[in-house]
Structure 1
Amino acid sequence: MLRLATAGSVDDGKSTLVGRLLHDTKSVLADQLDAVHRASADRGLSTPDLSLLVDGLRAEREQGITIDVAYRYFATAKRTFVLADTPGHVQYTRNTVTGASTAQLAVLLVDARKGVLEQTRRHAAVLALLGVPRLVLAVNKIDMVDFDESVHAGIAAEFTEHARALGYADEHVVTVPVSALHGDNVVERSERTPWYTGPSLLEHLETVPVAPDPHDVPFRMPVQYVIRPRTTEYPDYRGYAGQVAAGVVAEGDEVIVLPAGVRSRVAKVDTPDGQVPSAAAGRSVTVLLEDEVDVARGDVIVAAENQPRVTDEIDATLCWLAEKPLKPRARLLVKHGTRTVQAMATELATRFDEQELSGVDSPEQLELNEIGRVRLRTSESLPVDEYADSRRTGSFIVLDPSDGSTLAAGLVGVPLAPLAAAVNH
């Protein structure tokens, strides 16, 4: 399975491109397609507006823009896909962060007539910040520039240089000339771009090598629930249930339960389908330990030879998602894994200025959609990894202690200053 996200400036044709992918891979039901034909005819269009397959909210259809993340699921003979179509407007940056937070690849669109814009560079920076490992630049509306090879080459060169400055290797950035409206190089290669010898967009998505889960990183499993059946059949059963967040756990592995720091070994790994010798990231399991140790919901079972940092002070990058701004000394809740603790924002160190693509030191507050470097102090110590090392155990969410609503998405570490310098470069 490949998880991907789309991003780009307003009116670059993201929703039309996604609609074209769904249509040409025959992932659309007949009644859905009929509804699109009717809606398009009501607007006086001679051809179906495929963006309507993605923009599901009434406000989106009326405005002709994407304002929320639209998730779509489709499959081909080679791979299944989870696609997040994100908004292009600056004021919906939080939606872009949401859609890209779990993406293994992002498709950035640019209009061939406009080239790489400030919003393109901004989205690329956010994707780099979130650790999205691969980028595809779709140069859309190539038909509007008469399929000019030089236009595509100029845009590709400019974007590749920008991506390189953000830390992307050249082999992890692919550029494809497409026409979402007419289908050129979306699913099938187009005869109208004979100068382009690369794969179509779908061919690349079907074959790009992306690891499905972080199996090669140290084992991490937040404990969701302690299972004690207390039956005559299982009088001494004590298992710790949760989803493996990273790495692999196997019988005989030495582990440590954090934050207490108690050592033990894995006696068994149970699943709903029975006992297994090992389990990898993404699988829900119940781990039984050789020793009777005190383990509760919110604890994290980790590999003994490579432990996360246990701390009550976290330097993190926050994407602020709430209307109410974040100010220094604000009281918050931090939910990391399965544990929720009280916290305080002791310092607002830097705000990433998306308009100027630079860093602003010691901001007075973080407002809706803004991204900043913040120091948090928690009431209890948490076992955290750097987000660059483990996206799952290096991330958390910030909640409002008064009503439990989500205030921010947090990434442990991820310094903003080098990123801003790279963007300016």
Structure 2
Amino acid sequence: MALPDSGPSARGLLRFLTCGSVDDGKSSLIGRLLFEARAIMDDQMAKLDRDSRKHGTTGAAPDLALLVDGLQAEREQGITIDVAYRFFGTPRRKFIVADTPGHEQYTRNMATGASTADLAIILVDARKRLLPQTFRHSRIAALLGIRHVVLAVNKMDLVGYDQAVFEAIRAAYAPLAQGLGFRSVESIPVSALNGCNIAGAPASTMPWYQGVTLLPYLETVDITPAAPGPFRMPVQHVIRVAPDFRGYAGTIAGGTVAPGDSVVVLPSGRASRVGRIVTMAGDLPRAGAGQAVTLTLADDVDIARGDLLASAESPPEFADQLAADLVWMAETPLLPGRRYLLRVGTSETGVAITALKHEIDIATGEPRAARALAMNAIGRVTLGLDRAIPFDPYESCRETGGFILIDRESGDVLAAGMIRHALRRASNIAWQGFSVDRAARARLKGHQGAAIWFTGLSGSGKSTLADRLDRALVREGCHTYVLDGDNIRHGLNRDLGFTEADRVENIRRVAEVARLFVDAGLIVIVSFISPFRADRAMARSLFEPGRFFEVFVDTPLEECERRDPKGLYAKARAGKLPNFTGIDQPYEPPETPELRIMTGELSPEAGAERLLGLLRGGGILP
């Protein structure tokens, strides 16, 4: 989510974003800033005049909001729906500004803009005062590490430039800002449309305000971090341009580095010293955060993209169990137990949300119990990673403490996250090995352990096929066990209902049990509807390759409903059984199962024979 730097050291650069509710005037404000900073070229003004006549909302005057509202859909609707970045400068400072959308459904775009910003301009419509988006955007800004806020009370012209209105809004915002720990909060009454208090001296229309105006404040606000922090650089590329040159390219995420400094390579833990700092302009004696450089090391160390170069004196923490805050961005909810990909810097690993500790109330900031996170919700979670990663707490270093969650199948970004700390209790637990291993159990039983995972609609014939396969395997002297969905809900999962969150946990528990059975050398037969691909993929990920066989019992819904062996479809159609798969809950059929059995074409016995062949072909049976 990072933007490219505009200079070698980013000195004098301010990254800020505008945010607020719909139609608070964010685009107009940025357009006015560009105009006052003389950052609009003559050809842009000519085009603005033409666009204003066609799309504008300001009569004969140029509609400065159109300088930012670049998407056709935005211009037609008069709203911002994407993050629009603009680069401009004054003699005193350079700026990168992100105009973020106000609609609640686009909160994820606001989080994207906030992830690299140093300051947030939070707009409030003087007529509407504080709204839910004001609270939401303020909390997201604080979570994402923004420590400087401008409360811009806009559209003062529409309330007669009334001082009482401004003072009431400022007073109402103060407790929120104090609770979020911002380092500075500057409240400014403005009219972006008329240019009041945007640049120059305070506006004559508001003689009661003699504070700083917006652009001069942005030019002078001190965003220098309290401490630079230790050196960190995620490796983006390994460069070999000559037989005797091996360099490691990346953007320095924190601290400074100089030739001769001791560094450690993570996750390998190998130590070395910096040889050179190479750039297109020549070698540097020192480099700092924000600079893109290539480092050489004194020793020949195995380094690849995704590794982290860090100060040997102050290395990052290292853990595979983490506590983190999430801003959930996807339309599908976050459900504990599901598996995702976690990307931090240039590194990527598998991850599961092992627990949702609480959701954060947007208005009050108080934690509240939750079993899922809906789109735009904020919550505290615990993460279980497939491998330990180096990290810093987010408040210490954004680049090594911030991450995104990615859907394994679609590649969509689902959440922005901020690592808070490692879970020490988890890091003290190690897997205990025993003398009798899986191979010994396989020799004793005469076959390998494996999981046969039947999935399909209720009434498709899963339990019947599981029973036939179990009998056939026992006849051959195999050690087996059947985990049936209905039977498991009488004991282990009796506390779970049929919501999507409960279904995820249902599958997570049974998959862990099946994994233990396979480790014991059994052929475990799992018969669960397991309607979601993501949950079946999670189950598969627990097993070694070749030890998990997904079997799709493919029976049309109409046939399942005709059979209705337990009368469940009749109850669901009558509205007495909510969240029933196939009726008011979806079923996602497997895309590449190991075996697909159509029960309308095969008898249970013939299906069992095909399954035996699958196991023999997979090396499970001799």
Same fold (TM over 0.5): yes
Larger relative contact order, structure 1 or 2 (CA cutoff 8 Å, min sep 6)? 1
Q: 2:248 matched to 1:240? A: yes
In the TM superposition, what whole-angstrom CA distance separates every residue of 1:43-97 from its partner, at most 9, and x where no partner exists? 6723332212211112211211111111111111211111111112222211111
One-letter code aligned to 1:180: A
Unpaired runs of at least 5, structure 2:
1-12, 423-622
Q: 2:89 matched to 1:75? A: yes
The answer as to whether partners of 2:143 and 2:418 remain within 8 angstroms in 1 is no
Q: 2:34 matched to 1:27? A: no
Q: 2:313 matched to 1:305? A: yes
Q: 2:194 matched to 1:194? A: no
More displaced stretch, 145-154 vs 277-286? 145-154
| Among candidates 328, 337, 344, match of residue 345 of structure 2 | 337
Q: 2:66 — aligned with what?
A: 52
Q: 2:354 matched to 1:349? A: no
In structure 2, how many angstroms separate the alpha carbons of the residues matched to 1:216 and 1:310? 21
| Among candidates 195, 205, 209, match of residue 222 of structure 2 | 209
The answer as to whether partners of 1:238 and 1:288 remain within 8 angstroms in 2 is yes
Between Structure 1 and Structure 2, which shows a larger proportion of strand residues?
A: 1
Indicate how the Cα distance of structure 1 residues 287 and 40 shifts in structure 2: closer, same or farther if over 3 A, else same.
closer
- Give the deviation of 1:273 after TM superposition: 2.4
Q: 2:413 matched to 1:406? A: yes
- Give the deviation of 1:220 after TM superposition: 0.5
Indicate how the Cα distance of structure 1 residues 9 and 290 shifts in structure 2: closer, same or farther if over 3 A, else same.
same
Q: 1:158 — aligned with what?
A: 172
- Give the deviation of 1:132 after TM superposition: 0.5
More displaced stretch, 246-255 vs 340-349? 340-349
One-letter code aligned to 2:390: P
Between Structure 1 and Structure 2, which shows a larger proportion of helix residues?
A: 2
One-letter code aligned to 1:136: V
- Give the deviation of 1:137 after TM superposition: 0.9
Secondary structure at the aligned position of 2:400 is classed as coil
Indicate how the Cα distance of structure 1 residues 289 and 66 shifts in structure 2: closer, same or farther if over 3 A, else same.
same
Q: 2:404 — aligned with what?
A: 397
The answer as to whether partners of 1:388 and 1:414 remain within 8 angstroms in 2 is no
Q: 2:235 matched to 1:223? A: yes
The answer as to whether partners of 2:19 and 2:26 remain within 8 angstroms in 1 is yes
The answer as to whether partners of 2:404 and 2:416 remain within 8 angstroms in 1 is yes
One-letter code aligned to 2:344: H
Q: 2:389 matched to 1:382? A: yes
Q: TM-score, normalised by structure 2?
A: 0.62
Indicate how the Cα distance of structure 1 residues 165 and 214 shifts in structure 2: closer, same or farther if over 3 A, else same.
closer
In structure 1, how many angstroms separate the alpha carbons of the residues matched to 2:326 and 2:295? 33
In the TM superposition, what whole-angstrom CA distance separates every residue of 1:365-419 from its partner, at most 9, and x where no partner exists? 223222222222222211011001111111112122224332221111189xxxx
Aligned Cα root-mean-square deviation (Å): 2.2
Q: 2:19 — aligned with what?
A: 7
In structure 1, how many angstroms separate the alpha carbons of the residues matched to 2:132 and 2:376? 17
The answer as to whether partners of 2:146 and 2:182 remain within 8 angstroms in 1 is no
In structure 1, how many angstroms separate the alpha carbons of the residues matched to 2:45 and 2:208? 33
In structure 2, how many angstroms separate the alpha carbons of the residues matched to 1:199 and 1:414? 39
- Give the deviation of 1:305 after TM superposition: 1.7
The answer as to whether partners of 2:135 and 2:363 remain within 8 angstroms in 1 is no
Q: 2:285 matched to 1:271? A: no
In the TM superposition, what whole-angstrom CA distance separates every residue of 1:285-316 from its partner, at most 9, and x where no partner exists? 22222233322221111111212111111221
In structure 2, how many angstroms separate the alpha carbons of the residues matched to 1:39 and 1:238? 52
Q: TM-score, normalised by structure 1?
A: 0.89
In structure 1, how many angstroms separate the alpha carbons of the residues matched to 2:363 and 2:147? 24
Q: Percent same amino acid among aligned pairs? A: 49
Q: 1:423 — aligned with what?
A: none
The answer as to whether partners of 1:129 and 1:414 remain within 8 angstroms in 2 is no
More displaced stretch, 8-17 vs 352-361? 352-361
The answer as to whether partners of 2:344 and 2:399 remain within 8 angstroms in 1 is no
